[in-house]
Structure 1
């Protein structure tokens, strides 16, 4: 198994503010995809839709201002059963987002694509919390035919 890992520092925002962007439908729609629906509580399912498809994430863990963890319930076969985790901490005036998308079977082309896309969306999260405006799909950076 292999994982996608990223670390992003969010300036002038508390872990609570970042946590809100990760745990509300409006927050998620502000940085990942504007086609976000669902139940953001533990045991609920969030639906994220993109061009050309989407993902359903079961919310498996919420620790206020510290951790968000989802399990992929539906989407591309490479994603189903993997976990997405956001761990938050505060260091020197920054909220540090430690991101993990774990459980990939192998590091193929699609995983490489998704790693790059996660990086762009994490920068969108940073932008949303710092400025009030993110760059969610379909306003994100297109990097390939997978979008």
Structure 2
């Protein structure tokens, strides 16, 4: 995790996924695919200014706005209605095609505090991104109750 004096604390994770940028883009933007590796249920369309809903439970029913969407290349969401720590944050993906797959650069920036929630979220993102990798490469779906 790093701190930028203007934007708060940030989480970064990079991974190589043995799939095309097109397949990964679908998995990170299309709700029926998102639901297979991250939230319980979601809605939204991959286009600039679209609102996404990420429902984890009734108590964690969050919203964010698409602030960058370049098909098969990048996708970023600014949280608009979530908990106190997540609300000022932006998370997203940059995809770079490589000879042996796609390099996925993930970031979750703008955390106001270096607290336990930030550290727990960083761990959870690492686990979830591994789930994304296994979903795209192998079709593995981890039941929602077993996701970190």
Distance (whole Å) between structure 2 residues aligned to residue 18 and residue 136 of structure 1 = 20
| Selected match of 2:46 from 31, 34, 40 | 40
- Closer/same/farther in 2, CA of residues 41 and 138 from structure 1, 3 Å limit: farther
Distance (whole Å) between structure 1 residues aligned to residue 34 and residue 120 of structure 2 = 21
Structure 2 residue aligned with 1:144: none
Structure 2 residue aligned with 1:130: 137
- Closer/same/farther in 2, CA of residues 100 and 60 from structure 1, 3 Å limit: same
| Selected match of 2:62 from 55, 65, 71 | 55
- Closer/same/farther in 2, CA of residues 57 and 138 from structure 1, 3 Å limit: farther
Structure 1 residue aligned with 2:3: none
Distance (whole Å) between structure 2 residues aligned to residue 138 and residue 91 of structure 1 = 33
Structure 1 residue aligned with 2:4: none
- Closer/same/farther in 2, CA of residues 39 and 94 from structure 1, 3 Å limit: closer
Structure 1 residue aligned with 2:94: 87
Structure 1 segment 66-81 matched on structure 2, within 5 A = 66-81=73-88
Structure 1 residue aligned with 2:115: 108
Report 1 or 2 for greater relative contact order, CA contacts < 8 Å, sequence distance ≥ 6: 1
* Aligned structure 1 segments of 4 or more residues deviating by more than 3 angstroms: none
Distance (whole Å) between structure 1 residues aligned to residue 32 and residue 128 of structure 2 = 15
Size of the aligned set, in residue pairs, is 140
TM-score when normalising by structure 1 = 0.88
Please give the root-mean-square deviation of Cα atoms over the aligned residues, in Å.
1.5
- Closer/same/farther in 2, CA of residues 90 and 40 from structure 1, 3 Å limit: closer
Structure 2 unaligned spans of 5+: 1-7
Residue 34 of structure 1: CA displacement? 2.9
TM-score when normalising by structure 2 = 0.87
Structure 2 residue aligned with 1:2: 9
Distance (whole Å) between structure 2 residues aligned to residue 64 and residue 38 of structure 1 = 15
